[in-house]
């Protein structure tokens, strides 16, 4: 695997050194952004663990606990690499295939872990979850990029490798070779970022897994032009479809999902537990490094148009002299706890990264949420319409 990356890196550096830096003009049709084109205001907390996410194996009171949580804003980007690593730690204990396993959490980590363990022949007794639909895995925008994930410098290589492993799985999905996820669940699309923005895909470029960046000027055709942008290619992950297909696979494998909050690992009869509880791990595993990082999203309706559904934006901008982010991802169905069958949408706008809002009263949170939605509308209108 690593020698393959090395060859790819050398190839990428060779290609990169010959690419011209003259910007190309890229004409894009922007979404129409206004109060009338917004269908939903959504907020949701990313499960961030400071320092690094926790993929480890623990022995507690005669139980084997495999932790896999704390992936912040990159849980989908690190999904398959993380689950592979967690399962590898478990396999190193030479487990008995007939020993019952309990998975906590029905986000992308819990569902994928349960499906993969079962497909390897292990006995997944059940998945317990606080809620089927009320979690960030459904809400995520769907950008394959290592962003909003806290890592210490010594962990960066490990994180990059988990990202690369996950990217290769999405590639296999994209080519229709994945055993249970259909190729339509991911799309390979251009993403445009200002040259000041850390795009989170630079390691893919370095590894030669995506083409070298192109320097571009965006022309929205309405008088709004953004010079000094960079175009990359990466995956848009249709998280609604992925969650539905992961759930289908768990159902096909006859793994029951029960709605139950687990307050202690000792409450479970099984001696093997996979802890994929996201933010819930703060209490369940007494882990104060886990913090919520709030994201605000606006979903677009049909009045916004549809030609913006073939590209992505992820960029830093200035608003009131502060650094803020704008993103646009072509999400087509939005699922929320009150709309579990989903509403059709024409992309999703973001984004914000506000840590520790749970320390505030609900009135204070409400006021900040409203302020962030207003600011987001204002800056995305300015970005797309001038």
Ligand X SMILES: Cc1cc2nc3c(=O)[nH]c(=O)nc-3n(C[C@H](O)[C@H](O)[C@H](O)COP(=O)(O)OP(=O)(O)OC[C@H]3O[C@@H](n4cnc5c(N)ncnc54)[C@H](O)[C@@H]3O)c2cc1C
Interacting residues toward ligand X by CB under 6 A = 44, 46-47, 69, 71-77, 104-110, 128-131, 135-137, 139-143, 261-262, 276-280, 284, 295, 297
* Cβ count near 108 (within 10 Å): 28
First and final CA of the chain: distance in angstroms? 46
CA–CA distances in Å: residue 226 to residues 32, 199, 220, 235, 364? 17, 17, 8, 23, 36
Distance separating alpha carbons of residues 189 and 235, to the nearest angstrom: 6
Distance separating alpha carbons of residues 294 and 357, to the nearest angstrom: 7
The residue with tokens 């994929």 is 276
**Cα 32-38-39 angle, rounded to 5 deg:** 140
Q: Dihedral through CA 72, CA 76, CA 77, CA 83, nearest 10?
A: 90
* CB-based burial, 231-260: b 16+ in 10 Å, e otherwise: bbbbbbbbbbbbbbbbbebbeeeebebeee
Distance separating alpha carbons of residues 192 and 315, to the nearest angstrom: 7
| Residue 73: strand, helix, or coil | helix
The residue with tokens 């962003």 is 147
Residue 255 tokens read as 């793994």
């Amino acid at each position: 695997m690593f020698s393959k990356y090395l060859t790819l890196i050398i190839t990428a550096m060779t290609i990169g050194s010959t690419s011209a830096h003259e910007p190309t003009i890229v004409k894009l049709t922007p979404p129409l952004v206004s109060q009338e084109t917004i269908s939903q205001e959504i907020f949701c907390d990313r499960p961030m663990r400071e320092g690094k996410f926790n993929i480890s194996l623990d022995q507690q009171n005669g139980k084997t606990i495999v932790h896999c949580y704390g992936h912040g804003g990159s849980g989908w980007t690190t999904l398959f690499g993380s689950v592979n690593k967690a399962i590898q730690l478990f396999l190193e204990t030479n487990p008995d295939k007939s020993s019952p396993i309990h998975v906590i959490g029905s986000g992308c980590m819990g569902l994928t872990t349960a499906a993969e363990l079962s497909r390897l022949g292990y006995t997944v007794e059940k998945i317990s979850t606080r809620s089927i639909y009320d979690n960030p895995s459904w809400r995520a925008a769907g950008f394959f990029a290592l962003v909003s994930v806290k890592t210490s410098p010594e962990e960066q290589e490990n994180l990059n490798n988990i990202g690369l492993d996950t990217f290769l799985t999405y590639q296999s999905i994209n080519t229709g070779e994945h055993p249970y996820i259909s190729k339509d669940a991911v799309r390979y699309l251009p993403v445009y970022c200002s040259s000041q923005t850390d795009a989170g895909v630079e390691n893919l470029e370095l590894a030669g897994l995506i083409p070298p960046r192109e320097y571009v000027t965006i022309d929205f055709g309405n008088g709004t032009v953004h010079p000094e942008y960079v175009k990359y290619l990466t995956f848009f992950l249709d998280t609604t479809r992925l969650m539905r297909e992961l759930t289908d696979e768990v159902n096909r494998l006859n793994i029951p999902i029960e709605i139950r909050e687990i307050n202690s690992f000792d409450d479970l009869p099984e001696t093997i537990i996979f802890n994929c509880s996201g933010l819930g791990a703060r209490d369940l595993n007494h882990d104060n490094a886990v913090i919520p990082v709030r994201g605000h999203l606006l979903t677009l309706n049909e009045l916004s148009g549809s030609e913006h559904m073939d590209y992505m934006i992820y960029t830093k901008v200035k608003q009131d002299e502060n650094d803020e982010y704008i993103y646009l991802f072509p999400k087509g169905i939005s699922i929320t706890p009150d709309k579990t069958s989903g509403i059709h949408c024409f992309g999703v706008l973001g984004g914000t990264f506000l840590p520790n809002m749970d320390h505030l009263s609900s009135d204070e949170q409400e006021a900040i949420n409203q302020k962030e939605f207003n600011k987001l509308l204002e800056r995305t209108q300015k970005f797309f319409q001038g």
